[in-house]
Amino acid sequence: MAVLLLAALSVVTMSSPARAAATPLEVTGFGSNPGNLRMFRYAPPGLADGRPVVVAMHGCTQNAATYAANTGWLRLADTYEFSVVFPQQQTANNMNSCFNWFEAGDTRRDSGEALSIKQMVDRAKRDNGSTSAYVSGLSAGGGMTSAMLAAYPDVFSGGGIIAGLPYGCANSVSSAFTCMSPGVSKSPKEWGDKVRAAFSSYSGPRPKVSIWYGTTDSTVKPMNGTELMEQFTNANGTDQAPDTTDTVGGYPHRVYGGTVETYQITGMGHGQPVDPGTGPAQCGTAAAYILDVNICSAYHLVRFWGIGGSASPTPTPTGTSTPTPTSTIPPYSDTVIGTATDHYVAQRITVAEYNKLGAAHGYNTPFPLHRCEAGMGR
């Protein structure tokens, strides 16, 4: 049964040439490492002190190098000025190199693999004076991302769960099968209680969580996307009614209370979405279980988290808050063509205007925006 589970979660490595200018390097001596993991890190040349740390976790049978090369994280780190930690599982821990997302001893706070990953973050923060960290992962790495968000809400400001599982869904190999397919249904409160119990004394802010799933995923059923949304909206103190419903890249996108979002990738199977190319919103290289579906999940995670350097991305609109002004207003002419979302993220309109104009013109239908229509007087 263990072999079947590991095979079901397998993400087969596919060769892809790594960019010479961006290669993760192994870091040793990062802590007691009770989970017996390896740490790889990429820091852009000349990275300033204090920039964020992003943790990116591979799926089964992958390793740090191939996951880094194919998912787009290396180029995004260069563009938006952050370092990336790539934890790597070892076959001594798991025969298919899966993170043990279903083992209680590896997902509890200050225990096993979870503590090893936290120690990697601590080391990266010390080395670069960082004060913020984010975590993401694919499949088994997505399941471990759920665990890290639950166990360490004081460490991570945001997370990205891609084809992953709710925290506390399984505590054995057999129950993991059920979680993966057909999935386990619980109430939002039941799921949220599992997150709160992971660090019961914690009363601070919860991380923002971005959830991605394919509608034809036969390995980790799409139901898990719904259960994840219910878990983290409840844990974050918001309801399960989206404040914003739109499309991004042609795919349904929903935002809940400004702290949880979901991407429903229509027709996608089991894997991480990428959009190969050199455009500002493009990244990644298609490979087995790294799927070219014309949207780059890593790029949109950076946007949702709101991290970046001199080329800082703007946050995904939530419909409930006003975007933080930047030092300069993006230039635009008296008449600008774009969707309601385009105008919002460019800071041409407020949230109220976003909702009003979106309802009138269609949120994702291009239309001309005039200065007088926006009422901003710019």
Active site amino acids: 139
Beta strand 244-248 pairing with 251-256: antiparallel
- Phi, psi of 177, deg, nearest 5: -55, -45
* Contact in structure between 362 and 340 (CB atoms under 8 Å): yes
Decide if 88 contacts 38 (C-beta within 8 A).
Answer: yes
Distant-in-sequence, close-in-space partners of 250: CB < 8 Å, separation ≥ 6: 266, 294, 295
58 three-state secondary structure: coil
CA pair distance 378, 367, nearest whole angstrom: 19
> What gap in Å lies between CA 254 and CA 164, rounded to an integer?
18
| Residue-by-residue DSSP string for 84-131 | EEEEE--TTT-TT----TT-HHHHSTTSHHHHHHHHHHHHHHHHHT--
Of 80, 71, 126, the C-alpha closest to 286 is 71
Cα three-residue angle 138-142-148, rounded to 5 degrees: 140
DSSP state of 323: P
User: How many CB atoms are closer than 10 A to CB 373?
Assistant: 16
